[in-house]
Structure formats: structure tokens, C-alpha cells
């Protein structure tokens, strides 16, 4: 019985180390995703001045997460931009509205759908780069960190298992 006492301690230590590693892997994956992943936003209803004959100049709006600073230089423009009326019906790009994805603005166009807006309200949905977003090589490198961390845990556990088996006289 005394021969297995150190082995039980080692196995418990390995189990605790793997458990801590998995928790740290989860945390690091979340942190990396926060700075390398795009976020989705839906703006609240924006009221426009629209009359039955034409959409007037005040029918231009800026989204709440408009690119600013380095993001406004075309490096991190808005994507997946969809404009809907308050009932959820999508308006058509170029026919019903024009959008500047680099500036985060959209302008209603004098169209049948725009003139038919029941309450003169639109809702913009889009994907944007959050503050601290990493592009290029930096972002790609950060995305590799959780994978290499998981690989290190796997190799460490495999090494310890083979070491324990060899210590017990089992050769593979």
C-alpha cells in the first residue's frame, strides 16, 4: 500500500493541474476572442424627417458604433449592414438607402419604400470592430495562443501518464 501513496499524490496533482489549465484556457480564449472578434450591434429606432413627396436632407443618420480614429481609415469598416423599417422589413441598398461603411452613416433615398415608412423610423444592424480590436499579424498571432496552450496541457498530461506507467513497470 505504501508503494502507491506517492503515485496517488501525483495523480491528484495532475488532475488539479489539468482542471486549472482548462479554466485558464477558457479565460484566455474569451479574452482573445474579445480583441480579435467582430461584434454585432442593432441600433435603436432612428426617427427621420420624411414627408409623402420626398425624403429631406435630415434623413441622414450615423450609427452608434461608427468607426473612429484608425478604424475610420478603411481598416475596420462596418460589415453586414442591414437597414429595416420599424416593423422589421429590410430596405434595399442603393434603392432605398446609401451607406458609407467607413464613416458609419446612411442616407435614405427618395424611394417608394422610404416614402411609405409608417412612423419615419429605421433600425440599423451591422457588425463592427470593438475598441482594442487587433487586425493583421497581431490578431492572427493572438488567435493561436489558446490552441498552443491546449496543446501544452495535452502534451504535459501525456508525458505524466507515460511517466507513471513506466514507473509502474508498464512499457508501451
Note whether 161 and 151 are same-domain residues.
yes
Note whether 146 and 116 are same-domain residues.
no
The number of distinct structural domains making up the chain is 2
Note whether 10 and 78 are same-domain residues.
no
Distance between CA atoms of residues 104 and 63, nearest Å: 6
- Mean pLDDT to the nearest integer, 156-168: 83
Note whether 32 and 7 are same-domain residues.
yes
The CATH number of the domain where 101 resides is what? 2.60.40
Range of the domain at 120: 38-130
Note whether 33 and 47 are same-domain residues.
no
pLDDT digits (tens, 9 = 90+) for 73-125: 777 889 999 998 888 888 888 888 899 999 899 988 877 777 777 677 888 99
Please give the residue that has the higher pLDDT: either 66 or 137: 66
Q: Which long-range contacts (CB under 8 A, 24 or more apart) does 151-158 make?
A: 153/18, 153/21, 153/22, 153/25, 156/17, 156/21, 157/14, 157/18
Amino acid at each position: 500500500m505504501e508503494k502507491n501513496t506517492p503515485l496517488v499524490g501525483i495523480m491528484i496533482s495532475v488532475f488539479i493541474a489539468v482542471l486549472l489549465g482548462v479554466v485558464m484556457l477558457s479565460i484566455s480564449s474569451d479574452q482573445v476572442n474579445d480583441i480579435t472578434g467582430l461584434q454585432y450591434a442593432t441600433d435603436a429606432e432612428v426617427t427621420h424627417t420624411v414627408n409623402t413627396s420626398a425624403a429631406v436632407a435630415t434623413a441622414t443618420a450615423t450609427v452608434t458604433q461608427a468607426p473612429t480614429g484608425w478604424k475610420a481609415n478603411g481598416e475596420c469598416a462596418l460589415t453586414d449592414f442591414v437597414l429595416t423599417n420599424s416593423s422589421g422589413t429590410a430596405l434595399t441598398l442603393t434603392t432605398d438607402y446609401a451607406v458609407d461603411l467607413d464613416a458609419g452613416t446612411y442616407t435614405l433615398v427618395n424611394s417608394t419604400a422610404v416614402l411609405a415608412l409608417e412612423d419615419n423610423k429605421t433600425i440599423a444592424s451591422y457588425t463592427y470592430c470593438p475598441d482594442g480590436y487587433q487586425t493583421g499579424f497581431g490578431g492572427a498571432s493572438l488567435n493561436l495562443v489558446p490552441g498552443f496552450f491546449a496543446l501544452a496541457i495535452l502534451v504535459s498530461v501525456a508525458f505524466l501518464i507515460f511517466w507513471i506507467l513506466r514507473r509502474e513497470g508498464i512499457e508501451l
